[in-house]
Amino acid sequence: MRKTAIVNGLLAILFIVTAGCATMQTAKHQYMMKGQILDVSDGVAYLCIGSAEGAKEGQEFPVYRHSKVYTGEKQASQSFKREEVGAVKIIQVVDVHYARANILRGDIKENDVAELSP
């Protein structure tokens, strides 16, 4: 009887861990990659913004670059700046996670971030 309880407990733990791992990809996309520029080629950018975020053809997004700020001396905490580097306009919503966009202006690169204007 005790052996069965231990096995059932281990199976329950395995189920919980597996379910947690399955939701990690969703969380990564929703919080860490949302708006990230994944690829830039010939004036077209692929964005990590799709129909799940309400993306629609024709929407325009400003694009920002986040970079470290160096002051020449050691800092106790890192400092970053957020700079607008251009804009994109969605030409195709690929699926729930991705869209293709024309680059309207600026020097947009991979890992920049497109954000819907408030």
Number of domains making up the chain: 2
* Residue 24 burial (C-beta neighbours within 10 Å; 0-12, 13-18, 19+): exposed
What's the whole-model pTM score?
0.66
pLDDT value for 24: 40
Residue 50 and residue 73 in one domain = yes
Residue 48 and residue 106 in one domain = yes
Instruction: Give the CATH number, domain containing residue 95.
Output: 2.40.10.410
Residue 69 and residue 94 in one domain = yes
Nearest to 114 by CA among 13, 57, 38: 38
Residue 43 and residue 16 in one domain = no
Domain hosting 102: range is: 35-118
Residue 115 and residue 60 in one domain = yes
Residue 25 and residue 40 in one domain = no
pLDDT value for 6: 72
Residue range 44-66, pLDDT digits in tens: 999 999 998 889 999 999 999 98
Residue 88 and residue 105 in one domain = yes
Residue range 11-36, pLDDT digits in tens: 666 566 555 544 444 444 444 457 89
